[in-house]
Amino acid sequence: MHGIMSIKLVNFFNSVPGEITTSHIITTTVTIQIPLHAGRTDDKRNSEAVCCYSDVSYFRLVFCDEKQDFLIKKGAFNVAEAREIFNMVCRALDSQNWHYRKDEDNLLVRLSVSGENFTVELLIVVREDSKVLSIYSPLTFKAPEEKRTEISTAVCVANYGMIRGSFEFDIRDGEIRYKMAQSYRYDDISEDGFKSMLALVCSVVDDYSGKFFALEKEFLSLEKFIEDEYS
């Protein structure tokens, strides 16, 4: 028999066999499916548990309230944590009344935002394997083949001064996109933190869409672009 439980992990020991260390301790709450022990009749409840590595594939989960323990596949925690981040993303977008399309199976969210100059396309991805939340924003136009060498130089120049995030350029088809990523391996990402990421992505993409577009249409020379970026 299995049940769904919301479990607060009060300690998480990143250890090797025979050596328990406290080099990696986090506190988080995840929802996972676990086998119910004898006497545990409810399928939904909150509980505290201490987790440590048992081997390369499983965690040993010890319930503090009932002194029970069992092994559970590590992947279950990866999925649960990713789901929590995905739900946080949706809550943050809902709080701003933004319309979006979500793919719950693949933990993807797509939406479009109207900037001051250009539409900002957004793809938000939660990666359970690497525990990373990524925001991608492809520009709404692609560089023509004869302009790709010039645009690739401009992308490198723009990236040099970036503190967070960076532009990527696909030399094959001329796509330009901005990417920002944040790990949640050691710390949760708050709604405010995610909103800050999203606001920065929208601002940068709206700004540089105009610059790259002007460069492509020869309203702006590469020399002037470089001068402005380094000034």
pLDDT of residue 76: 53
Return the SS3 of 19: strand
pTM: 0.70
Tokens of 38: 């004898």
pLDDT of residue 117: 85
Condensed to tens digits (0 to 9), the pLDDT of residues 22-60 reads 333 334 444 444 444 434 444 334 444 444 444 444 444
Tokens of 108: 């993807």
Mind spelling out the 3-state secondary structure of 145-184?
HHHHHHHHHHHHHHHHCCCCCEEEECCCCCCEEEEEEEEC
Q: Cα–Cα distances in Å, from 175 out to 123, 138, 145, 227? A: 15, 7, 11, 24
pLDDT in tens, the chain (231 residues): 344 444 444 444 343 333 333 333 334 444 444 444 434 444 334 444 444 444 444 444 444 444 444 444 445 557 888 999 999 999 999 999 999 999 999 999 999 999 888 999 999 999 988 899 999 999 999 999 999 999 999 999 999 989 999 999 999 999 999 999 999 988 889 999 999 999 999 999 999 999 999 999 999 999 999 999 999
**Cα–Cα distance measured from residue 62 to residue 27, given in angstroms and rounded to the nearest whole number:** 15
Region(s) of the chain under CATH 3.30.1460.70: 84-230
Residue 15 DSSP code? -
Condensed to tens digits (0 to 9), the pLDDT of residues 152-181 reads 999 999 999 899 999 999 999 999 999 999
- Domain 84-230 in CATH 3.30.1460.70? The answer is yes
Judge residue 218's burial from the number of C-beta atoms within 10 Å of its C-beta, 0-12 exposed, 13-18 middle, 19 or more buried.
Answer: exposed
Of 51, 53, 49, 59, give the one whose Cα is nearest residue 5: 49
Cα angle value 138/143/145 (rounded, 5°):
140
